[in-house]
């Protein structure tokens, strides 16, 4: 049985703050994340992380609003599907549909807030716990592999990597969620304009609320751009404060 001192040390290890990373690290990880988002091949691979966050957002809001979560599927083409049971209309369905496209950016914003307090290990371990919780609801082999690999990478970094490596990984991941949450909204509208995505989240919301789909796409974009602006500010705020 762990002693009181052991519990205190474990608490401090997880929740204690770490030193501020160099400003150059924060900037370079942001540039690297932007390069991944803008590069076709890199985006094609890394986009799976955005899909995990997207479907996780649907799943969380389905549970919060009282819907019964049936399962989550992640596909090799970086698409995904979250199935829930309940009323096909009403606030529960609206919030569940709303959550997907804004989830990566809002998760990134939450991550930026945690990093602003220098709690890098806490961010990594919360990520591991959330991925494990999501794993329970995955209903296809590719999805299981994706969650296990992603969670395994985060765990290895959180447990075995040096503080410098943890900092690089954490900042790059948060920047990627903030920046990567914006691109799918543009892709969504491009596909809608070409008639390739008639059952998108925006069009399902339009069918339920009678508000045009383009308005919902605009809402996704505004939320994600706002999260990017605020999250970016939180990531650089310690250095701005030092200059003032």
Task: Give the residue extent of every domain in the chain.
Answer: 41-243
Is the model's pLDDT at 2 over the cut of 70? Answer: no
| pLDDT at 1 (0 to 100) | 53
Mean pLDDT, to the nearest integer, of 67-90? 95
User: For the segment 56-71, what is each residue's pLDDT rounded down to a tens digit?
Assistant: 999 999 999 999 999 9
Structure tokens at 45: 């691979």
Query: Residue 244: is it exposed, middle or buried by C-beta count within 10 angstroms (0-12/13-18/19+)?
Result: exposed
Under 8 Å between Cβ of 15 and 122 = yes
* 40-64 and 91-116 helices, crossing angle to 10°: 120
Helices (runs of H) and strands (runs of E) counted in the chain? 10, 2
Q: How far apart, in whole angstroms, are the C-alpha atoms of residue 172 and residue 102?
A: 19
Is this prediction's pTM over 0.75? yes
Q: 14-45: string of b/e by CB count within 10 Å (b at 16+)?
A: eeeebeebeeeebeebbebbeebbeeeeebee
Q: Smallest Cα–Cα separation from 180: which of 46, 4, 31?
A: 46
User: For the segment 87-145, what is each residue's pLDDT rounded down to a tens digit?
Assistant: 999 999 999 999 999 999 999 999 999 999 989 999 999 999 999 999 999 999 999 99
| pLDDT at 15 (0 to 100) | 76
| pLDDT at 68 (0 to 100) | 95
């Amino acid at each position: 049985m762990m002693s009181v001192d052991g519990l205190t040390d474990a608490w401090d290890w997880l929740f204690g703050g770490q030193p501020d990373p160099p400003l150059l690290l924060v900037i370079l990880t942001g540039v690297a994340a932007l390069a991944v988002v803008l590069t076709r091949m890199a985006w094609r691979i890394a986009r799976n992380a955005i899909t995990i966050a997207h479907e996780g957002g649907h799943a969380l809001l389905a549970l919060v609003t009282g819907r019964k979560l049936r399962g989550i599927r992640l596909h090799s083409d970086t698409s995904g599907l979250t199935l829930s049971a309940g009323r096909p209309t009403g606030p529960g369905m609206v919030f569940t549909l709303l959550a997907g496209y804004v989830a990566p950016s809002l998760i990134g914003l939450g991550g930026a807030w945690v990093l602003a307090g220098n709690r890098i290990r806490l961010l990594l371990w919360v990520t591991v716990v959330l991925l494990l919780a999501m794993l329970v609801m995955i209903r296809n082999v590719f999805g299981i592999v994706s969650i296990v690999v992603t969670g395994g990478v985060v765990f290895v970094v959180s447990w075995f990597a040096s503080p410098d490596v943890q900092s690089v990984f954490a900042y790059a991941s948060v920047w990627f969620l903030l920046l990567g949450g914006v691109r799918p909204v543009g892709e969504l509208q491009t596909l809608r304009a070409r008639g390739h995505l008639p059952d998108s989240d925006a069009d399902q919301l339009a069918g339920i609320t009678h508000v045009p789909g383009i308005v919902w796409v605009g809402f996704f974009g505004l939320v994600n751009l706002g999260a990017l602006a605020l999250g970016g500010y939180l990531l650089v705020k310690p250095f701005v404060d030092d200059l003032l």
